[in-house]
Structure 1
């Protein structure tokens, strides 16, 4: 799997003439060289449904006069660049208008993606229709006729559908379409049938050829879905709706799965389909480095002009990032994460106990937890319930992890081996939510009487003097047990905000009366009585972060990595076992808001005298900066390596060679 990929979108309307007329083999190659590109995903079929090559099972774009796909593959291969081939799977507007009965339908008979045919936009197909065989033929033809280096199938996944094919199928099984459980089972089978057909169409011709089915998000906890792919491409355009929180969360999970994966961002200021939009080169440099720091290869999205002319400004921009990636690859191959903490994903736990949909609260729990772990500079993985816990010191159960038998059994072995748990909110409770299954020093009594409520810690926060701190998320009422030590008290508000009981602009203040522990420690770890991670994701409160950091530092007696990196900095530790070394990644950028809900990175300020201490059990021979290969002074005493990086910006790797 290559490090420097471009995903070259080419969704091109039949209303545009002269398709590919400006394509030049030399210019195509020059742009790939300018961009330091070593792999480019090129198009067989786009969302409009047209093929960009002669086809017996599809129709070539009416205004294309030559085999554009073949020309792109030939040009790329001539200079050693790989060419995975893209086919739009879920969308095909040409066929959608000819066979609207093959489309996904809501219960109200509306179509998916675009509700009707009088609004511009695409319409998504149901794979429980004859369309799936049409698509399989298209895939098979590409693999038979072209020297593709992989197949990328887009806009697919387990989809809710009430088209007449699905209605007929569920009735043939003896179920009523109003039976949600039966419908969900059928939708799951529909997706697996689709993926199996496509994989067979590819591998019957070229066994082992890479295949990826893109649904824009890799669902945590669904290893069965992950392993329908040969590798993962983590679509995560920060300005395209994913934000800068999404990729670290996805990557820290992907690296635990034992599959190759890449991080996909875009060159666009916003998202896909933006012509003439460019982000600052520093943003691409940072986003590519973020992929490397999280063990991923890189992919940058572009969209080819209908003329086939490759945009020089785009490849100069991409080259700014990929020139640096090319120099760093030596220290990023075959890397595995070094981690102290395992964050058990709420999304993963929910998926593995029945596939229930993730609500906003659960989604926020994972996001808020990763945000605090990044800002606290902890070494962590995001895991599912199938993960091996033996290498971790602390497991975080964020907000809503109930103790199924599988989770309870795993944690029992982990705790018996000396591990500790940090649980918040409803986490640690039995599946019926009535009692704690872990000894966290508390007994569950019920949901807190007011929302918000307040926490008054028995310890000082680093940035603030002691106070009653508001926590907006749902709280729990608990009582201390004989094994528990209170680390602070919960306080209710005078009353909840209501028509005749409200106070001031937002919420009622604390009544300043202790209402039981708000945070406690027991033999198995620490419990905090609110959905703290949801709260941080939504409100971003400084006290909430510092309370969680206090708990983690209390549980992590020997934190493996310590640094004075600013909160916005990101740090990871990757092991290259084959080269007998650890690679310490440091990144720093500060996204700012531009426009409405768009975060951009522009300025990359230098950082001075970044201090680092890493707990290392074996002797270190040398420490040096990469890719500069310049030595860095260090000391190693009592199992701790210490060094200071005098000046750096954006991304710096430090190599500890054993």
Structure 2
């Protein structure tokens, strides 16, 4: 998989004339060179439903007079640039108006994506309809006629659908569309049948050709869905609604799955479909570096003008990032993550049999946990219940992970080998929610009736004096188990906020009475009696972060990396085993809010005198900055390598050569 990719959207209305009339082979190649692009995903078929090449399986755009796809492939291949080919799979507005009965419907017969045909937009197709056969013919045509370097199929996934094809099928099976479990099984089967059909269509012609099915999110815990793809493309446009939190959480999971993957951002100020919008070059530099630091290749989204002329401003912008990526690739190939902590994803655990569902509270747990781990500069992976726990020192169970029997057995084996657990909220409880299955020093008594409640730590926080700190999320009432140690006390409000019992503007203060432990420690690890990660995702409270960091630091006897990097910085450690080296990544940028719900990066402040300590017993031959190849003074003593980076900006790699 190439490191410097562009995803070139081309969703072009039939109401626009002279499609591709400005395309010029030399100009196309010049822009790819300007952007340091080594792979570009180009279009066979768009959301409007048109083909951009002569076609028997589809209709060529009515205002396109030549084979644009073929011309782009030839031009790119001539300069060594790969060309995966895009087909809009879930959306095809040309066919939607012709065959509206093939569209996904809800129980009220409304269409999916756009509710009706009087609203501008697209409707999504059901793959249980005859549309599947047409799509297969379109894919077959591309892989037989063109030298495609991959196939990208968009807007697909397991979809709820009550179209008459699905209703007819479920009744044929002797069931009823009101039987939700049977309908869910049908929707799953529909997607797997679609994916198998597309993969077989491609690989019957070109075995091993890369195929990716894009649903815009890689479901944590659904390895069966993941492995329908030959690789992963993690769509994560920070300014397009994903935010800067999203990619690290997705990437820390993706790197555990054994597939090549890339991080897909965009050149846009906002998101897909924006013409004339540009982000600052520093933002793309940072976003590309964030992919590299997390073991991913890079992809940047663009949209081609209907005339077919590549935009110079866009490729100068992309080139500012990809020139740096080209210089760094040597240290970013074939890497594996180094991690102390396994964050067991609530999303993933909820998918396991008996794992329950993600409610409005627990859906925030993964986000809050990842934020604290990033800001605390911990080395971590995001895992599912199938992951091997052998390389980790601590397993983090955030807020809502009850212990099914298989998970209980896996954790028991992990604990036997010296591992520790940090559990919060309802995590660690039995599947029926009545008792703790781990010895965390606590006995469960019930869900607290007070919201909010307060925690008074029995330890000092780095930034604050001791106090009763408010927790806004659900708490648990616990008692100290035999042999357990209390890490601080829980305090309740005088009363919950109600019509005749309210105090001040927000909530009632603590009654200052000890209501039992708020956090405990036992032989298996530490327990905190609130949904602290939900709390951090929603409120971002400093005491919450420092309480969690205290617990993690207590459990991590031999932390593999320590640094004085500011909280906004990100650090990862990647192993390149084939080169006998570790590559330490450091990133720093401060996104700022612009407009409504848009975070941007413009200024990249220099970072001074970053101190780093890495636990490493193997003798180190040299430490140097990459890609500068500048030697960096270091010390190695008592199993620790230490060095100081005097000055850096945006992204710095430090190579520790064994």
Report the TM range for the smaller structure's normalisation.
over 0.9
In the alignment, which residue of structure 2 is the partner of 1:32?
32
Work out the CA distance in 1 between the residues paired with 2:353 and 2:455: 32
From the superposition, tell whether residues 356 and 103 of structure 1 become closer, same or farther in structure 2 (CA, over 3 Å). farther
Work out the CA distance in 1 between the residues paired with 2:241 and 2:489: 38
In the alignment, which residue of structure 2 is the partner of 1:76?
76
Q: Contact conserved, 1:222 with 1:352, CA < 8 A, in 2?
A: no
In the alignment, which residue of structure 2 is the partner of 1:373?
373
Q: Contact conserved, 2:354 with 2:404, CA < 8 A, in 1?
A: no
Work out the CA distance in 2 between the residues paired with 1:97 and 1:303: 25
Deviation at 1:184, TM superposition (A): 0.4
In the alignment, which residue of structure 2 is the partner of 1:498?
498
SS at match of 1:511: coil
Show CA shifts across 1:220-242 (max 9, x none): 00000000000000000001011
TM alignment of 1:43-54, pairs within 5 A: 43-54=43-54
Work out the CA distance in 2 between the residues paired with 1:356 and 1:113: 28
Matched, 1:118 2:94: no
Work out the CA distance in 1 between the residues paired with 2:447 and 2:549: 24
Deviation at 1:124, TM superposition (A): 0.4
Deviation at 1:361, TM superposition (A): 2.2
What is the TM-score with the length of structure 2 in the denominator? 1.00
SS at match of 1:204: helix
TM alignment of 1:139-178, pairs within 5 A: 139-178=139-178
Report runs of 4+ in structure 1 exceeding 6 Å deviation: none
TM alignment of 1:288-367, pairs within 5 A: 288-353=288-353, 358-367=358-367
Work out the CA distance in 1 between the residues paired with 2:353 and 2:497: 36
Work out the CA distance in 2 between the residues paired with 1:402 and 1:587: 35
Work out the CA distance in 1 between the residues paired with 2:356 and 2:308: 44
In the alignment, which residue of structure 1 is the partner of 2:234?
234
Superposed CA RMSD in Å reads 0.7
TM alignment of 1:215-254, pairs within 5 A: 215-254=215-254
From the superposition, tell whether residues 368 and 172 of structure 1 become closer, same or farther in structure 2 (CA, over 3 Å). same
In the alignment, which residue of structure 2 is the partner of 1:42?
42
In the alignment, which residue of structure 2 is the partner of 1:539?
539
Deviation at 1:176, TM superposition (A): 1.2
Work out the CA distance in 2 between the residues paired with 1:20 and 1:564: 53
Q: Contact conserved, 1:485 with 1:520, CA < 8 A, in 2?
A: yes
Work out the CA distance in 2 between the residues paired with 1:466 and 1:174: 64
Work out the CA distance in 1 between the residues paired with 2:536 and 2:578: 39
Deviation at 1:355, TM superposition (A): 8.2
In the alignment, which residue of structure 1 is the partner of 2:133?
133
In the alignment, which residue of structure 2 is the partner of 1:610?
610
Q: Contact conserved, 1:442 with 1:478, CA < 8 A, in 2?
A: yes
From the superposition, tell whether residues 518 and 252 of structure 1 become closer, same or farther in structure 2 (CA, over 3 Å). same
In the alignment, which residue of structure 2 is the partner of 1:403?
403
Structure 1 residue runs without a partner (length 5+): none
Work out the CA distance in 1 between the residues paired with 2:442 and 2:150: 54
In the alignment, which residue of structure 2 is the partner of 1:621?
621
Deviation at 1:156, TM superposition (A): 0.2
Work out the CA distance in 2 between the residues paired with 1:175 and 1:513: 57
Matched, 1:277 2:287: no
Matched, 1:425 2:420: no
SS at match of 2:183: helix
Q: Contact conserved, 1:48 with 1:92, CA < 8 A, in 2?
A: yes
Show CA shifts across 1:293-337 (max 9, x none): 000000000000000000000000000000000000000000000
Deviation at 1:351, TM superposition (A): 1.2
TM alignment of 1:85-124, pairs within 5 A: 85-124=85-124
Deviation at 1:357, TM superposition (A): 5.3
Deviation at 1:360, TM superposition (A): 3.5
What is the TM-score with the length of structure 1 in the denominator? 1.00
Deviation at 1:356, TM superposition (A): 6.0
In the alignment, which residue of structure 1 is the partner of 2:184?
184
Deviation at 1:455, TM superposition (A): 0.3
SS at match of 1:510: coil
From the superposition, tell whether residues 87 and 357 of structure 1 become closer, same or farther in structure 2 (CA, over 3 Å). farther
